[in-house]
Chains A and B, each alone.
Chain A
Amino acid sequence: MTGTINIDGQNIPFEEGQTIIEAATAAGVYIPHLCHQPGYTPHGSCKLCTVKVNGRNCSACTFPAADGQTVINNSAEQELDRRRITQMLFVEGNHFCPSCEKSGNCQLQGVAYHLNMLDNHYPHFFENREMDASHPDILIDHNRCIFCNLCVRASQQKDGKNVFGIAGRGINKRLIVNSPSGQLKDSDIDINDSAVHICPTGALLIKRTGYQVPIGQRIYDHKHISEVALAQENDNGQD
């Protein structure tokens, strides 16, 4: 079965089983997102893709497209909601972009630029979060993890391993490593694993690759995340 949904006045076809974000991406309509990636089961945790479907707020990455839906993606209200959500992600972790080697290539930052986020609005948590630099090639800086679960899904679904997990709830949730010591060096992670390359932020990094491109020439320094995401995800979505 196929059908049509309407996003911001534009009619968009969908196929049975597609979510709203999948139909939108295929039609070249960008819905901001961080925890969604084509080819991975939806997680629905970041809430950045929140759209209004027939008047109700829904996550576009988990909500199935259905014939005749009216979806509002771009409105002042939607943009403010998304900016506030992004600001919450910033104050909950410790995001000091000038000292982060992902800066300029970071999707969290790219989304914030896209939303014209100029400040963090909320009081900062400045929560104590650790770093795991135990592995010779891979680094986890928990300060920057937004619990998108992509590394967890990538490890399970693409790499056939189970290196990562999210433990705890609410403000106590944290990314854990499935190894006897809890350290990355004692896990069976490999530098070529999808899980190592999928992190949208600077939480999971490959050592000795940072700062190779100067500030000002990195991806989101000059390209909107909307453009980058649509191009990449339509490519990846095909395979």
Chain B
Amino acid sequence: MKPAVFSYHKSTSVEEAVEWLEQHPEGKILAGGQSLIPLMNFRLSRPEELLDITGIPQLDTVSQTDGRLVLGGLIRHQALAEHEQVRRAAPVLAEAASHVGHWAIRNRGTLGGSLVHADPAAELPAAMVALDATFELVSRAGVREVPARDFYLGFLTTDIMQTELLTRVSIPSADGTAFGFAEVARRPGDFALAGCFVEVGQDTSGAITWFGISGGPERREITWSSDAQERAEAILEQLDTVDILDEEAYRHHVAQVVAEEAYRKAVRGIA
């Protein structure tokens, strides 16, 4: 099928974009289009007015300020995966970005689009929850800063308002916490059946952030043990507090496996 009729507007600045959003309460933002256009092609989504934000300058940059890594909302997944500064400051994020879809999808899909679309099986929202990122949301009313840990409210639901644009994401520099990432997908590039990020503190403290197993990122704090048996029990205890969606027994098993794998990667320092 083909998309239904819409009117198209391309924005060249954040100010102009938020003004447009204010004046078009039914309007929809188009970024990389890698989630929105498939939905429009099948007419599962029929926005009447689209605002293309890909021409806004300065939103595809990476910088470091006040000990935080700052990422623009228009950075493409492939650029995130390959960026030197990101690979150094948050290797686990670069690694996760390289697992989003396929090369051709990553060349176009944007960070902001993935974070706002909030697919339950998406890597980047969960990465932001694990990394304790803060999202900068801009509307005509001003700037609102929302921690990623408060942003995800459930299946495809977030705290963003229709008039807001996600402009930037900032990530605190690691305080000695080691991160690990693992996922299982049926084929490379497919959405994960289950995946997770783990945090391993310098003591035994830490956390697991699962994705793909429920309505959104699920972060659970955990006390790590160096004993594999005790660790498996601790993982299970946390996993049992998550409401797993379909194929429950199988996903439950995969979720356990990825948690252990991500833990091992974190302690070996290989993201």
Q: Do A and B make up one complex?
A: no
